[in-house]
């Protein structure tokens, strides 16, 4: 309708693996929503994002799909008490580096920061970007980063084929192809329905080791040299770390 009608609607959804839920509850379908022109898709990472982006979504005149990963609900961080808005669109830099760009959505941004800490101990500096808005996508921060680093690793909470990670790679291929020193890499869940059993789930989801391996190979480093810096995986498969207690 050319902007003449307003649809100020926010639909809040929760995604994320856990508790052997299988494909009924653990799928991340953000790429479906991001495919629709005019539909805004937001995926916060930090507590600051959660409030600022939610308020911006509520005040927006267009419909917004607001997707949260359940593993993010225990994160702590500074949140202003008063009213503030986090702009819908731009990516957020979580860590600065000059060797490789890691662009990640939702909880994978947390894994990317942890991977960057491991990489730094081995001398590789990663630039970590949180993609908090999938649509409308502001790729300017991504392009600026890749033009500096020449390398790109994309991590999404969903599948690789036809997934949102492919959109990020396409943006770079079209706008900053000449800056690339290596072929971009995409990380996502295995190309299969989300498994219920623990044995298969361990092979389905990328975590810090997979991010470290991809970035190390991209800069020509031996991934095995970073093994000593990796923390052991949690005993319980369906929690991000030993400190996680919920909320569900």
Residues marked as catalytic: 25
Nearest to 231 by CA among 243, 214, 220: 243
- The beta strands (E) that lie in 40-139 are given as 40-42, 64-69, 92-95, 100-105, 126-131, 133-135
Can you read off the two tokens belonging to residue 119?
A: 């990489």
| Cβ proximity of 135 and 7 under 8 Å | no
CA distances to 92, 106, 162, 200, 211 from 40, in Å: 17, 15, 19, 33, 28
Which are the contacts of 205, defined by CB distance < 8 A and separation ≥ 6? Answer: 17, 189, 190
């Amino acid at each position: 309708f050319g902007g003449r009608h307003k649809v100020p609607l926010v639909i809040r959804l929760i995604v994320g693996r856990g508790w052997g839920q299988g494909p009924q509850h653990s799928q991340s379908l953000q790429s479906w929503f991001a495919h629709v022109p005019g539909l805004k898709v937001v995926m916060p990472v930090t507590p600051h994002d959660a409030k600022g982006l939610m308020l911006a979504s509520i005040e927006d005149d267009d419909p917004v799909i607001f997707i949260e990963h359940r593993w993010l609900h225990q994160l702590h961080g500074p949140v202003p008490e008063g009213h503030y808005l986090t702009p819908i669109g731009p990516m957020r830099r979580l860590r600065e580096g000059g060797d490789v760009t890691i662009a990640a959505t939702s909880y994978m941004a947390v894994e990317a920061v942890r991977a960057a800490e491991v990489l730094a101990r081995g001398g590789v500096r990663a630039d970590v970007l949180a993609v908090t808005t999938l649509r409308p996508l502001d790729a300017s921060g991504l392009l600026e980063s890749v033009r500096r680093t020449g390398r790109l690793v994309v991590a999404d909470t969903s599948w690789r084929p036809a997934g949102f990670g492919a959109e990020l790679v396409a943006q770079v291929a079209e706008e900053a192809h000449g800056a690339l020193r290596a072929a971009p890499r995409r990380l996502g869940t295995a190309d299969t329905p989300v498994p219920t059993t623990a044995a298969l789930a361990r092979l389905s989801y990328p975590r810090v080791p997979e991010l470290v391996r991809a970035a190390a190979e991209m800069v020509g480093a031996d991934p095995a040299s970073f093994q000593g810096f990796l923390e052991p995986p949690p005993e319980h498969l369906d929690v991000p770390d030993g400190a996680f207690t919920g909320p569900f």
